[in-house]
Amino acid sequence: MDLKKLQAINPSEYADAADGYRAISDVADAAKGRIDKQITKVMQKANEGEAATAAQKQLAKLSQNFHYTQVECGLITGALTGFSSEIAAPRRRLLEALDDAKALSYTVNANGSVAYPAGGENGLTGEEIAGGTVTGFNGIYSRGPGPDMTGLRSPNPNRAKAQDIADRIAHAVQEATEIDDRYSKALEKLKAAPGLTVDTKTWADVASDVDAVSSAATQYLLDHIPMDKSPADITKWWDGLSDEERDEYKRAFPEVIGSLDGIPAVVRDEANRENIQTLIAKLEGQHDDDSKTKLGGLKAIQEKLLAGSDPPMYLLGIGDEGNGRAIVAYGNPDTAKNVSAYVPGLTTRLDEDFAGGTMKRAQDTALTAREISPHSSTSSIVWLGYDAPQLSAGDLLSSRSVMFRDDAEAGAPAYNQFMAGISATHENGDPHITAIGHSYGSLTVGLAAQEKGGIPGADDIILVGSPGTGANSADQLNVGKGHVFVGAAEHDIVTGLPSKGQVAGGVVGGVLGAFAGAPEVGAAAGASASDPNGDDLWFGKDPASKAFGATRFEVSDGPTIFEDHGKMKAHSNYFNPAKDQMSADNIARIVVGKSDEIVREQPR
């Protein structure tokens, strides 16, 4: 990039090129849809045998080629659009500087230096001060010696004006060079390998391409997407886009759109179904244990997406950062009358167990809610948008004192941001929203509820298997204590974790009681000098205690750890109607707004 090239660039030509690639992407998308939804299905019904099977394989291969074409052309569209947008600003500043030089009759040289005429008067000789040439300064001296600062005070008034013009030219060219370099490198990567095979390696390359385009277009995204605004502002921005603009953002920047709170659920789901495929391909090329674990989780989620479910699944978030991210809804949260968002806790991460167990809890809640209120639609969400502690049952008894608040403190603002997005995108105004925290997730929900204004849109809060919420009273959770509900199984050791004061005093009666099968685990099981009533847990007052003031609902006692061969099923059965029908029903009643019908239990 230099002055001449920047001057000659026409940003609209790159925008036109982007339109061309967008058209190709649209055609490829339509072709893939016709193959998958029409041709293949017709052939499956009409034909059998080896020839039909071979034809089906060829159609599947062709569909993958069209899919690859659609995705890659979408990325090229995003890169060209970003370049067209970003390069316009330095080019405009260059042209303005050139116009100013022309108006003053200064000469701008090919290297950007500016020649200025004689002017002013030498105070000693009375003669006119000679003109000269100045080189622009763009903030770094690596591009030249920089201006002569004494010259800026020259009696020749033309010098200072020339220096200003030269500096503006240098800055514009430098900025354009940086923009051109970013996008050139990204576009260089967007080249297909020869042949028609679209395999795992191909999709791994797509994942790299997505990262390259997003990195190149960071400034474009910051300038055009209000990512630092509230979900309500993001919804307003999205609603104001044309269909063509929305489609471009989805195809060019799926990882951004798929994770943006305030974007409609259907759109996020579409983007994340693309994202999960590229993440799988990316991790298949990595062989460390962490990548293998996440890969297993991603594949298990994708299998469920492809198989379909009841209620329908919506993939609202997916990522490999930290211990992995996954946000899955059973039922559309933008149209459902009731929406619950469950935050899992201890040991939860993106792995095969997440898809097989944690996600099933959300599905169970949706199905049970439908049984209890068949004429009222419900969307049940599992929100793994943070890193939960990775602890074993043994860790719960160790002197390391279980865990800290750090993970929950990091997760609480992200959860509130997500919940604000649920309210912003809902099509029918004001849904009944329930925040659910299980295990350590109840601390995340509790801290989120204690932030200013509470959890956006939340009408009720459910806490199950809780080690504490960081609060000493249900009133502190900003929904009114009559809208805070607690389930605590008697043999759930997490609900009986000793408080910090009890640990300091050597009191671990609550946890040891859980091992032995004592009838009471929490309140009064571990009284100490610092906690005479025994109703403090590790993270504040026991939510199931009388002192906390929440409504406790009935749940099964669950097996002791001895009966359960060292497992913690009493900590995991709250949502499962096959294991704890009472708890599952009570949770569902609250979710559908029928909390007056729950079966209550006396607080501890």
Residue 509 pLDDT > 90, yes or no?
no
Q: Which of 308, 318, 445, 426 is nearest to 363 (CA)?
A: 308
pLDDT value at residue 139: 55
Is residue 588 a contact partner of residue 361, using CB atoms and an 8 Å limit?
Answer: no
Q: In b/e form, how buried is each residue of 235-260, taking b as 16+ CB within 10 angstroms?
A: bebbeeeeeeebbbbbbbbbbbbbbb
Q: In what order do the strands lie in the sheet with 107-108?
A: 107-108, 114-116, 132-134
Q: Which residues of 517-551 are buried (b: 16+ CB within 10 A; e: fewer)?
A: ebebbbbbbbbbeebeebbbbbbbbbbbbeebbbb
Measured CA to CA, the distance from residue 492 to residue 511 in angstroms comes to 9
212 vs 567 pLDDT, higher one: 212
> At 120, is the pLDDT very low, low, confident or very high (cuts 50, 70, 90)?
confident
- Lowest-confidence segment of 44-58, 73-87, 401-415, 558-572 by average pLDDT: 558-572
Q: Are 570 and 489 in contact (CB under 8 A)?
A: yes
Distances (CA, A) of 335 to 247, 276, 425: 22, 24, 9
Helix (H, G, I), strand (E, B) or coil at 484: strand
Percent of the chain with pLDDT over 90: 62
42: confidence class by pLDDT, cuts 50, 70, 90: confident
pLDDT tens digits, residue range 433-465? Answer: 999 999 999 999 999 999 999 999 999 999 999
Q: Are 82 and 220 in contact (CB under 8 A)?
A: yes
Least confident of 78-82, 197-201, 331-335, 520-524: 520-524
Q: Find which of 386-395, 398-407, 502-511, 535-544 is predicted with most confidence, using mean pLDDT.
A: 535-544
Residue 587's CB: how many other CB atoms inside 10 A? 31
Q: What is the pLDDT of residue 514?
A: 40
Looking at residue 470, what is its pLDDT?
Answer: 94
pTM of the prediction?
0.82
d(CA 478, CA 419): 15
What pLDDT is stored for residue 392 in this prediction? 59
58-72, 222-236, 291-305, 523-537, range with the lowest pLDDT: 523-537
Quick one: average pLDDT of 94-119?
95
Q: Tens of pLDDT along 303-337?
A: 999 999 999 999 999 999 999 999 999 999 999 99
Residue 583 pLDDT exceeds 60: yes
- CA dist list (Å): 511 to 165, 362, 466, 507, 589: 75, 28, 13, 9, 30
Phi–psi pair at 463, nearest 5 degrees: -125, 125
Worst-scoring range by mean pLDDT, 32-46, 270-284, 350-364, 509-523? Answer: 509-523
Determine phi and psi for 119, rounding to 5 degrees. Answer: 180, 160
Instruction: Give the per-residue pLDDT at 373.
Output: 96
